[in-house]
Amino acid sequence: MRKVDLRSDTVTLPTLEMLEAMKSAELGDDVYGEDPTVNRLEELAAEKMGKEAALLTTSGTQANLVSVLCQTRRGDEVILERDAHLYYYEVGAFAILGGIIPRLVKGNMGVMSPVDIEAALRPSNVHFPPTSLVCIENTHNRAGGAMWTPSQTKAVYDFAKGRGLNVHLDGARIFNAAVAQNLDPREFTRNADTLMFCLSKGLSAPIGSLAVGNHDFIDRARKCRKMLGGGMRQAGVIAAAGIIAIEKMVGRLKDDHVNAKILAGGLAKLGVSLNPSSVQTNILIYDVSGLGVNADTWVSRMGEYGIKFGAVDRNRVRMVTHRGVEKEDIEYTLDAAAKVVDQLRGRS
Ligand SMILES: Cc1ncc(COP(=O)(O)O)c(C=O)c1O
């Protein structure tokens, strides 16, 4: 039976070229700043994002955490979209380790407006914690890979700066947003003080993310990463794959977006609640209750055909396209879905 893994773009395996580069990477002790391959990756990341410096971290979660910790003080409030990855999926790390209070805002497909943020801002008053940071997410995972435009990003940034707040961009999939809008990632990152992006998702590197910002931020982030146990030694073995991820794997993300659209169009015809035009990048989130099943049942019935993906909540599931999913896998998935729908409707 064919196997199609649509759980996440994190399941992508390194390319042969990455494995070769890892084997032959020039190495040193990165805690001493002496790993030339890490240094090269960090310089490349900073340049691609239009910032002064970057820091390799073990994961996106760690890059987000150091970014928040370095821009807040204990007891500060941070504004986040209510389904932000930082809030929803990162174990509450910033609250536990940083004493930070999340202030949640409901966005429109993950995008917050200055009006939303203004409503969440509290006046300076003895009762309230001070607000210091706004976190945005592009593309937005739980909003189905929805993307911010540069003008939406600028509107929030200008507003935040006017109120003395910093902006951190969770850009785990910023290259997806850039490719989908045919833009340079700097169109987004110029309107953020700090950002993080991941090498280990659609870009197919096995490990690693980068925190990016100005020199002062990166100096503090480096110390914070050490405090979190993330100082790595010959990390050039990771960085070597990361360099290839940035230099060679960005362009192909458009294939993942095309596949996601085809998948969305086919599923919508079968009666799931999904508007294909809302699928902007490589993530689809849709409701299956119209088929008379809940999310877990849909996941397990599709699993019988070797197709893996996960439930988001009781009625919604998530599918993610990536380098390990070919056009034939999409066709196979749609055939299997049609069969399951027929079975559910008692037609076979
Ligand atoms: C938007 C977003 N931010 C952060 C992360 C965290 O990345 P990691 O899994 O590398 O910790 C993810 C992971 O899926 C994500 O989707």
Q: pLDDT of 264-287, one tens digit each?
A: 999 999 989 999 999 999 999 999
| Nearest residue to 145 via CA among 264, 3, 246 | 264
Could you tell which of 59, 62, 64, 85 is best to mutate to test the pocket of ligand 1, judged by most ligand atoms within 8 Å of the CB? 85
Q: What is the pLDDT of residues 208-243, one digit of tens each?
A: 999 999 999 999 999 999 999 999 999 999 999 999
From the number of C-beta atoms within 10 Å of its C-beta (0-12, 13-18, 19+), residue 318 rates as buried
Q: How far is the CA of 50 from the centre of ligand 1 (A)?
A: 22
pLDDT for position 200? 98
Instruction: Give the mean model confidence (pLDDT) for residues 136-165.
Output: 98
- Take atom 4 of ligand 1 and give the residue whose Cα is closest: 60
Tell whether the model's pLDDT for residue 348 goes beyond 80: no
For tokens 């389904």, the residue is 83
Ligand 1 pocket list (CB less than 6 A): 59-61, 64, 85, 137, 141, 170, 172, 198, 200, 209
Q: How far is the CA of 310 from the centre of ligand 1 (A)?
A: 16
Task: Give the Cα separation of 157 and 3 in Å (integer).
Answer: 43
- Take atom 9 of ligand 1 and give the residue whose Cα is closest: 60
pLDDT for position 346? 86
Tell whether the model's pLDDT for residue 347 goes beyond 80: no
Tell whether the model's pLDDT for residue 256 goes beyond 80: yes
